[in-house]
Structure 1
């Protein structure tokens, strides 16, 4: 039950952060809001590092033995936050969340392939089912939008 609550809270914080980033980007600019997002994220991370008592590991050579592409997460994060702030004005929160989920799913499949040399058929099937569901939902929304526009036009 604990993990379910954590997953739900994680989803809530992602959507909330996206909305806050959009409002901030609207007020001060997209790149400035991304900058402040990362500055405050860094401050929060340093605070948690100090509280955890793991600061001694920063100076251990064993802490830096990860592959080179592991360190690209920050650059990818900046790109995702900037793109998310930009798209928040153009795409509904539901579709943006699904698109981010699909991106994470297929990126995870790609990373699994890099490390194991295998691709899970179940993950691919699940990803394509999510894409099909998203496409179907977009189609239904478009049909409903056209119907409501047609009704409005007939009433005017």
Structure 2
């Protein structure tokens, strides 16, 4: 499972870099649309090849809470904003800032579900944030010295 998570992280970063390159060429909104059209087509091919034994009736479909469909909306916002951000700041900072956002969201979600805050997670997020800020200052100093 850990390997799959690492592969997912690598592919997420690679996807954002590729999508932002497309965004620079054809526009941010257009590249976001292309991203989701290609994703839909690939999902359909995978579904056709692997098949599915899930049968979902309209009654069951109507009983699904509406908020679970927000993943697609959030995905569009992520692709759109990363297409804007990635070309403007180094990829490593983009990924680290996204990572901080994920940590903070994870802490909040854990709190909402488990009703407790884990201080180690907060300290970890603070250490990563301080490291990014420090590294950014060092990079800016090196760039201004050259």
Q: Is this a same-fold pair by TM over 0.5?
A: yes
TM-score, scaled relative to structure 1: 0.80
- Correspondence list, 1:113-132, <5 A: 113-132=111-130
In the other structure, the counterpart of 1:107 is: 105
The 2-side partners of 1:18 and 1:116 are apart by 32
The 2-side partners of 1:128 and 1:65 are apart by 40
The 1-side partners of 2:53 and 2:38 are apart by 19
Given the alignment, which residue of 71, 74, 78 partners 1:73?
A: 71
Deviations 1:40-90 (A, max 9, x none): 112222333333433533337557766543321111111111110001111
Cα shift at 1:107: 1.1
- RMSD of Structure 2 on Structure 1 (CA): 2.2
Higher mean alpha-carbon deviation, 43-52 vs 88-97, is at 43-52
TM-score, scaled relative to structure 2: 0.85
Paired positions, count: 146
The 2-side partners of 1:56 and 1:7 are apart by 25
- Larger RCO, structure (CA 8 Å, separation 6 or more): 2
Cα shift at 1:20: 1.2
- Correspondence list, 1:36-47, <5 A: 36-47=34-45
**How has the CA–CA distance of structure 1 residues 106 and 61 changed in structure 2, closer, same or farther, with 3 Å as cutoff?**
farther
**How has the CA–CA distance of structure 1 residues 136 and 71 changed in structure 2, closer, same or farther, with 3 Å as cutoff?**
same
Secondary structure of the 1:58 match is coil
The 2-side partners of 1:105 and 1:46 are apart by 32
The 2-side partners of 1:97 and 1:82 are apart by 15
**How has the CA–CA distance of structure 1 residues 55 and 82 changed in structure 2, closer, same or farther, with 3 Å as cutoff?**
farther
Secondary structure of the 2:39 match is helix
**How has the CA–CA distance of structure 1 residues 97 and 41 changed in structure 2, closer, same or farther, with 3 Å as cutoff?**
same
Cα shift at 1:29: 0.8
The 1-side partners of 2:127 and 2:84 are apart by 27
Deviations 1:104-148 (A, max 9, x none): 111111222222222221211111111011111111111212222
Query: Unpaired segments of 5 or more residues in structure 2?
Result: none
